[in-house]
Amino acid sequence: MNWLGRSVRAALRYAMTGLTAAAAVAVFATGPAFADPLPAPSDKGQSAPYYVVTQSYNGEPEYLYEIAERFLGDGNRAMEIFELNKGRWQPGGQQVTKAEVIEPEWVLRLPPDAKGEGVKTGVLPYFEAAGAGAPTDAASASTPTEPPPATITPAPAPTTPAADSGSGWLAPVLIGLAALLVAAGLVWLGVFLVKRQRAKKPKPVALAVMGDSDAWAVDRAARALATACAQQGRSVPDTIAVVLGPEAITVRLATPDEAAPAGWLVSDAGRVWSSTVGEVQRAVVDNSLPAPFAQLVPIGLTGTGQVLLNLAQSGGVVSVEGDADRVVELTRAWSVRLARSPWASGLKVVRVGFELDPAERFTGVEAQSVADVARIAETNPGGGVLFLATPPRGQELVTVNGLLDTPGRLWSAVVVKADEATWRVSIDAAGTVQTGLLPQRTSLRV
């Protein structure tokens, strides 16, 4: 009877798994406790200029600095727009809480002098707080509606209990069948969850390394730092990494430097400069200056935020090593993010040897060979980053070294499991990344 005992124990395990899953569903259905929402602006029913955020503008996600620059003529007025909309409820029960976070379909009130294509003037569309009711648009906000007429539903006529027809056994049978169906459903759910847990681990999603909204926040911070350094009459120091946190932006310098510009604090004996997200949002930015960190790639998360590595500081080949699936996914993710990043607009991102995958939205160049990359480099003075799926050897290695030897560190090369490299980045099956360049390990968000 041992087999029976094992089966019973397995069934119980599956049933308990199902019950646990049901409890989890109940928790998610009721929702976790959130912090109190911000007070909403008291401008309901008022007429003012406003703008409905779109999916993109000129092929890039929208953000407050760009909106202020387009409609007010000055991107530095972005915080003025944020203050007008701080706490405003948006479609889907979301609320404006951070200047660096806006979503498509959100309605933003603009200052009175806003003008341009897309600016509307009228009664501000109004959206209820989450769970408080349905949103109203500008038309419904400006035209009160009459309450629907009351309806009276006649009370049901009293019924007379039916005489006992001998069918009293039916109710217990139906209850028993329902209980069996529930139990069977829980066992099935338990089996499904256990099999899913035992299945092969999923591969990381390439685009999950860093979102577009965070990328624009990093670009804003880098340009604010470049502007602050220029105002002080100095250049931006060589930087190994940038960390985007919820409250602060941090840069880790290659060489200690305690002469940080205004708005930036020095720590770790001059190895780290930092500024708050609010300070960066308020800072004046000179967009005519070149992006100081054109070769940033995200390597994952730490307790302080998202970490980006500056490939321009490698001075040679960057080898990505470790779990085979994760290595390829991380390398592809870097190429996708770099090709779409605002700080790399003048950079050529070229891949050689990777399988084509239209779903990943790679907007760089898929070259057939390293020789093709050399020809691309001759016509692109802004430099670039080369991604190789296999280590270069022979004449290919000579060509790659020639690219890396160009003055000004214009080109970098990222190679899957390179034979020789100046930097080695490793990633394990769990998504933990180590570089040897930073005091902490990072973990991919997948």
Percentage of the chain surpassing pLDDT 90?
44
Cα 68 from Cα 81, distance rounded (Å): 7
List CB contacts of 107: < 8 A, sequence separation 6 or more. Answer: 50, 51, 52, 53, 88, 90, 124, 125, 127
The pLDDT value recorded for residue 230 is 96
Distances (CA, A) of 99 to 57, 79, 203, 282: 18, 7, 33, 10
Q: Which of 382, 385, 354 is nearest to 368 (CA)?
A: 354
Provide mean pLDDT across the span 173-196: 64
What is the length of the chain? 446
pTM value is: 0.57
pLDDT, tens digit, 9 for 90 and up, residues 248-295: 999 999 899 999 999 999 998 999 999 999 999 999 899 899 999 999
Cα 153 from Cα 209, distance rounded (Å): 57
Provide mean pLDDT across the span 346-353: 92
pLDDT, tens digit, 9 for 90 and up, residues 88-143: 999 888 999 887 788 999 999 999 999 999 999 999 998 888 665 544 444 344 33
pLDDT, tens digit, 9 for 90 and up, residues 384-411: 999 999 999 999 999 999 889 877 768 9
Mean pLDDT of the chain: 79
- pLDDT(217) > 60: yes
- pLDDT(312) > 80: yes
The pLDDT value recorded for residue 348 is 92
The pLDDT value recorded for residue 161 is 43
| Residues linked to residue 298 through DSSP beta bridges, in sequence order | 308
Higher per-residue confidence, 190 vs 379: 379
- pLDDT(208) > 60: no
